[in-house]
Structure formats: structure tokens, C-alpha cells
Amino acid sequence: DGGITQSPKYLFRKEGQNVTLSCEQNLNHDAMYWYRQDPGQGLRLIYYSQIVNDFQKGDIAEGYSVSREKKESFPLTVTSAQKNPTAFYLCASIRGTGATGELFFGEGSRLTVL
Amino acid sequence: DAKTTQPTSMDCAEGRAANLPCNHSTISGNEYVYWYRQIHSQGPQYIIHGLKNNETNEMASLIITEDRKSSTLILPHATLRDTAVYYCIGPEGSQGNLIFGKGTKLSVKP
């Protein structure tokens, strides 16, 4: 079955360490997104990528980095520069590049920084 | 650009219709309105989307006003499993990046 796979589901890291969250999709979708969600809050856009080798900053990109070397993969690195990295991270993808149509979400990765 | 506003929370009795409003007064003529819901600690789930005509699928109905400045998501017979946060979103920005606000927390009560 096609879908989006995020890993790991839970991750614990010490303060000051970089962390990379994986997002893989086999839906042949062009655009991919990373969102952050804090308790009781909505989703905030970190980065998005419309096509391979191109990505754009969202509202809260500071302290994060991404790459899009392959269509099916869009990993997110939470760097030590991110002041409050503990959060629920969601990856999504959509067919086409105009953001019209259904967004497919992964199950999320919950990062806790100790 | 379509910036949306929704009530923070709503209650609905089990078996009754849940009507969730959304204002999107800045939406442009070719922008769709999308609805998603998120059950606690899961990824959001797509419900429905529309442009200017009313839409219906197996999950819900979407009523869009003629001026397209607002819409209402209707869950015709709400169940306890419909308790979730419901997001009304529209594409913003020149790249069409989809922006989620805080949504409406719907509580379906027995």
C-alpha cells in the first residue's frame, strides 16, 4: 500500500545534539512538507519542497534544515540551533506542485530533548 | 491568499449534526478550501475540499457560501469517534504552501 512513513516514531536526544527525522513516501508525489505541532496548538510549517533539489522555508524554519535529493525522501534535521526542539513533527506530501488536492500525512515523530 | 478563522471549540450531542464554520474572507477565485481533522497524537486526515459548489462524500458535506467568504463542514450524524480537532485551510503564498491554524476542537458528547 502507498503511503508516508516517518521514523523514528519516538526519539530522545540530549540538548545540543543534531537529530534527523526520516520521511519517505511511495505515492510518487511531487510536493512534501514538514510541520511542527506543540501541545494544544495547530500545525506550523517548517519547510516544504515542490520538486527535487528545491525547497522553501516555512514560518518557523530557523534551527532546522532539509534536503530533497530524491523525490520520495524529505529528511528533516533538527539542529542544536533550534531553541525548543521538543515537539511532534509531521511530514506530508501532495500530488502536483500547486498544493491542490489531498495532503497525505505520516504518523508523526515525537522528539523529546532532555 | 486564503487566511482562515475558526471557533476554538464546539460541542455536539451524539447522533446530531455537527456544523463547523470557517471564515476565509480573503480567499481568491481559484483557491480551494480544504478540511482535515486530527485525532489526538495522529497525523491529520483529509475530509473534503471544495471550490464554489457544495460537496458531499462519505464522511461529510461542505457548504460554501456564494461569495466564498465562508464555509461550513457538516457531519450529519456525529459519533463519539468524531471527537477531534478540525482544520479549515486554504493555500497561502505564491507557492501554494498549505497553512494550518489552530482549528476547532469538536467534542461529541453522549
Grid cell listed for B72:
461550513
Do residue A108 and residue B91 have CB atoms under 8 angstroms apart?
A: no
Contact between residue B84 and residue B67 where contact means Cβ atoms under 8 Å apart: no
Quick one: pLDDT at residue A16? 87
Strand order through the sheet with B9-13: B9-13, B104-109, B84-89, B33-38, B45-50
With pLDDT > 70 as the criterion, what percentage of chain A qualifies? 95
* B99 confidence band (pLDDT: 50, 70, 90): confident
* Identity of the residue in A41, A58, A105 whose CB atom sits nearest the CB atom of B44: A105
Flag whether residue B50 sits within 8 Å of chain A, measured between CB atoms: no
Flag whether residue A63 sits within 8 Å of chain B, measured between CB atoms: no
Is pLDDT above 80 for A1? Answer: no
- Mean pLDDT, residues B51-62 taken together: 93
* B7 confidence band (pLDDT: 50, 70, 90): very high
